[in-house]
Amino acid sequence: MRLTEEDAAKLCQNFVQGGRCHATGGNCLLGSRGMYAKNQDHECELHGGFDVWLTERNALLISDLGFPSEEPKQCLALGVNEALARRISQARAQALRTSVLTTQRTCFQCHKQYWTSEHMEKEGLREVGKSKFCPHCLSKMGKDLEKLDAQRYWCG
């Protein structure tokens, strides 16, 4: 089976040649099938939308936003579930005696914590509020969303 570059980019991002898992250090849970597993299909129970990075400041970062804005020093896991991301970052943070940062946000309206990736809709003005409002509050905004878009142009 010959893979295109595009197809190869979709395969398990933690599969290491020899059947090992980069994220856990153990054997791939899917065995030889793991080489062809796609992260977005969640074929492995460890797949998810979170990455774990060691930053230049020696902090651990759990992100659901892809490549971090600050240049990372090392990638510890790509496309894993939240539980595994937290487990990896906590273990490494203890060993390095450093902190764990996340891209998790707090809703401006209800103050609940949420991940930007929890937003399902990808249309128009809704993009503007994803970094400020949880999915529940954003869905209730209606016409107020237009005001938020106007503020974006005036403020920055």
Please give the chain's pLDDT, 156 residues, in tens: 455 655 555 788 899 888 999 899 999 999 988 988 988 888 899 999 999 999 988 899 999 988 777 778 899 999 999 999 999 999 999 999 999 999 999 999 999 999 988 887 655 555 667 888 898 888 887 666 666 655 554 444
- Contact criterion met (CB below 8 Å) for 116 and 131: yes
Task: List pLDDT tens digits, range 75-92.
Answer: 999 999 999 999 999 999
Buried residues in 128-147 as b, exposed as e (16+ CB within 10 A):
bbbeebbbebbeebeeebee
What does pTM read for this prediction? 0.78
